[in-house]
């Protein structure tokens, strides 16, 4: 399936078929983005149900804002899944460039480096979106519909797993280039974003333990 052609119009089943096909793309980066989109959809669902219940009137305005932002993030994450495919395709094309002369080898290396940098930037943007989804999931768990706590928690866990994938993808794409100032800044940002995700995940765990579990004796 040509996910680049379908873009945001592709269905979940089409993505699953494309990911499971015996080809190089879409792969891990796109899969993480789709998982993030599912996480955002869960946040949107919980926020929407919260906004419908009179019992939660005090947080209706906040729930509405969360739902609106989750919708935007959901769409952005699907778009990032497509962009990741495009970035990998660019790298594959760079690998096919001729390398018979020193000039050709130099041009090929430049193209590879540029494609890897684009791939890292896509994953860095993915990580940024996932950090926001993770934090929104904590908000919905904390003040949203109590009966949907498991759904909000699932959103958090999905976002955290996808974020770890994105973080290591950034590291992999930038391997060996940490001494370059712009690359170092990207790596530092990736670490900061992952810390945000992990802090949000810990918060969710604390809320769940407080609500659902009796401390062991």
pTM across the whole model = 0.89
Residue 171, judged by CB atoms within 10 A of its CB (0-12, 13-18, 19+), counts as middle
Mean pLDDT rounded to a whole number for the chain? 91
Q: In this structure, what are the phi and psi dihedrals at residue 161, rounded to the nearest 5 degrees?
A: -65, -45
CATH of domain 3-205: 1.20.120.680
DSSP 27: -
Task: Please report which residue ranges of 53-100 form alpha helices under DSSP H.
Answer: 60-95
Mean pLDDT throughout 70-81? 97
Beta carbons of 162 and 38 less than 8 angstroms apart: no
pLDDT in tens, 168-200: 999 999 987 767 788 999 999 999 999 999 999
Summarize pLDDT for 15-72 with one digit per residue, the tens.
Answer: 999 999 988 888 899 999 999 999 999 999 999 999 999 999 999 999 999 999 999 9
- Are 146 and 20 in contact by the 8 Å Cβ rule? The answer is no
- Residue 22: what pLDDT? 87
**Residue 128 near residue 30 (C-beta atoms within 8 A):** no
Q: Quick one: average pLDDT of 152-181?
A: 92
């Amino acid at each position: 399936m040509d996910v680049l052609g379908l873009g945001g119009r592709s269905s979940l089943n089409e993505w699953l078929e494309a990911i499971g096909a015996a080809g190089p793309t879409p792969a891990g980066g796109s899969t993480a983005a789709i998982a993030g989109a599912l996480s955002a959809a869960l946040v949107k669902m919980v926020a929407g149900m919260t906004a419908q219940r009179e019992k939660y009137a005090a947080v209706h305005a906040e729930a509405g804002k969360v739902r609106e932002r989750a919708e935007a993030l959901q769409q952005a994450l699907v778009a990032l899944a497509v962009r990741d495919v495009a970035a990998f395709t660019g790298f594959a094309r760079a690998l096919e460039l001729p390398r018979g002369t020193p000039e050709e080898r130099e041009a090929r290396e430049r193209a590879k480096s540029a494609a890897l940098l684009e791939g890292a930037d896509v994953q860095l943007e993915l990580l940024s979106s996932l950090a926001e989804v993770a934090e929104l999931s904590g908000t919905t768990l904390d003040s949203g519909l109590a009966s949907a706590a498991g759904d909000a928690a699932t959103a958090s866990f999905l976002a955290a797993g996808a974020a770890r994938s994105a973080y290591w993808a950034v590291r992999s794409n930038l391997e060996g280039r940490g001494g370059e100032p712009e690359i170092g800044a990207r790596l530092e940002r990736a670490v900061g974003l992952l810390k945000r995700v992990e802090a949000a995940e810990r918060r969710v765990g604390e809320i769940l333990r407080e609500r659902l579990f009796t401390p062991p004796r």
